[in-house]
Amino acid sequence: MELRNVAIIAHVDHGKTTLVDGILKQTGAFRANADIQERVLDSDALERERGITILAKNTAVSYLDYKINIVDTPGHTDFGGEVERIMDMVDGALLVVDAFEGPMPQTRFVLQKALARRVRPIVLINKIDRPDCRPLEVVDEVLDLFIDLGADEELLNFPVLYGSARLGVVEENLDDALDAVEKGEGSLKPLLEAMIHHIPSPQGSERAPLQLLVSTLDYDPYIGRIAIGRLHNGTLKRGDQVAVVRGGTDGLHKETITQLFVFENLKRVPAETVPTGEIAAIAGLSRVEIGDTITSIEEPRPLPPLEVDQPTLMMMFQVNDSPFAGREGKYLTSRHLRERLERE
């Protein structure tokens, strides 16, 4: 079974988590009589309250002879570290854009991270069932955004699809998509086929020394810390001894893989071996951290550590322009503000 690793990226509330719901339903991830809540990947209480994705989450679906690993990423700059780490695990990105709002500030931020990693993009113009949508104008705006972010000719040659995640409809042609929305018929199969045809399979060699870069961490009360990452080279086996090392350092320590998992629908499924290119979850590594490389003891080859933007705080000092300006306070002009700041 061939692999595809895909991140779904978008601005907040442009429909990516709803889209994942639809993919899971249409690929048979749930029983016919299952009681399914909306935004099933937003499992954290705060995420469900706010209606946003904070933590990146892995799921996987099977379609034809392919396994598609899907990572739902945050769409907000405040959680940018999650986005940057996830881009190391995928070869392609599905950019979801609202057919009315178009590209928004967080769309720019997340897409910039994806293009910097040179992941292959697919664009889905979502919510074409809105009465005020303007899908063709939004496509032009997305193209302008790609150009503004410095995308080269290869990355600019992205496929565009149209659909409604809420209705579970996606088509390559806008007229076909609008017709499917009007009739209430259609499926997400064109989107899955676009992922298969336009996103490359993972690169790497099973004969090369083991290399897995830890992108995220999870925790289970029974088995402890769980390291999640993509296997760049080699093969993982349950019970193997491995070296955990941080790129750029000489220190390494030995650990034993006690549990090994891959993702299937919404579950982590135990596995005896994991092939190159797969996204794996590993238990038993007590001292592992994000950015560490899990590698061979005999021939350790650490990967470069993940680089995440440093947190920044921007403050703007300006003259008070509120309706109460000048009624109180000692410093009322920009000159006074400047002098006070320079003294400090």
DSSP 229-278: EEEEES-EETT-EEEEEETT-S-EEEEE--EEEEEEBTEEEE-SEE-TT-
* Nearest Cα residue to 92 out of 134, 121, 66: 121
- pLDDT, one tens digit per residue, over 182-232 is 988 889 999 999 999 999 999 999 999 999 999 888 888 888 899 999 999
Instruction: Work out the average pLDDT over 305-332.
Output: 72
CB atoms within 10 A of CB 195: 23
Q: What is the pLDDT of residues 257-301, one digit of tens each?
A: 999 999 988 888 999 999 999 999 999 888 888 889 999 999 988
Residues 284, 257: contact at Cβ < 8 Å? yes
Residue 332, phi then psi, degrees to nearest 5: -115, -10
Residue that wins the pLDDT comparison between 50 and 224: 224
- Residue 312 pLDDT > 70: no
Alpha carbons 173 and 10: distance in angstroms, whole number: 21
Tokens of 157: 């040659």
Helices (H) and strands (E) in the chain, counts: 9, 17
Domains, the chain, ranges and CATH?
A: 2-198 (3.40.50.300), 211-295 (2.40.30.10), 315-344 (no CATH)
Q: Report the C-alpha gap between 276 and 208 in whole angstroms.
A: 10
Q: Say whether pLDDT at 318 is over 90.
A: no
